[in-house]
Amino acid sequence: MKTVRWFVIGMLICLVAFGSQALSQQKSGFVNSQTILNELPEAQEAQKKLNALIQTAQDTLEKMQKEFQAQYEDYQKKQAMMTDASKKEQEQKLVEADQQIKQFQQVKFGQTGEIAQQREKIFAPVREKIVKAIQSVAKEEKMVFVFDKTPEGSMVLYAEPTLDITYKVLDRLKRGK
């Protein structure tokens, strides 16, 4: 185990020593995708469409919640005068109404809900346009990598395809070397 650790450390030292010289000859760049989305008119228009869909769903949800609250308050006022059968019936109606609200939230706002699907659909052309522009600028500027600089962290948006060593690594792993 120690030999493996020393081997990895040695390889890292070599990569830093020799890799930094090679990297200094390669050009990289970055974009701030949030700035692009904030300033691109098509992205602003797409966001307005999405916001309208979200607002409609939120309005419907709020209406459902207010109706539920009114039913619950009505039940609490009349509960003392109800028969056991009537109580159970009203409680069942309240449980069903609550389940409908939760189902509506999941269908509209869940990770794979309608809003998420519409977000993907609405922003797909915008994303495609941005990616093409990034690739075009990267090639014109002879950049090897373009990163996205966001508060969440960096991500590679473009990489020169000739630098992909995925299959070389897989081959080496499969050969056991």
Residue 159 lies in a domain: no
Does pTM top 0.85 for this prediction?
no
Domain assignment present for residue 83? The answer is: yes
How high is the pLDDT of residue 6?
35
- Quick one: pLDDT at residue 54? 97
Tell me how far CA of residue 35 lies from CA of 21, 31, 45, 147, in angstroms.
Answer: 32, 8, 15, 14
Residue type (1 letter), 58: Q
Asked if the structure places residue 68 within a domain, the reply is yes
Residue 88 falls within a domain, yes or no?
A: yes
Number of domains present in the structure of the chain: 1
pLDDT score for 127:
92
Residue 136's pLDDT is 85
Residue 176 counted as domain residue: no
What does the pLDDT read at residue 154?
A: 67
Residue 73 within a domain = yes
Domain holding 91, by residue range, is: 32-141
| CB-CB contact of 64 with 104 (8 Å) | yes
Strand order from edge to edge, sheet including 143-150: 27-31, 143-150, 153-159
The pLDDT, as a whole number, for residue 115 is 97
Q: Tens of pLDDT along the chain (177 residues)?
A: 433 333 334 343 433 434 444 545 688 888 888 888 888 889 999 999 999 999 999 999 999 999 999 999 999 999 989 999 999 999 999 999 999 999 999 999 999 999 999 999 999 999 999 888 888 888 888 888 888 877 776 677 777 777 666 666 666 667 766
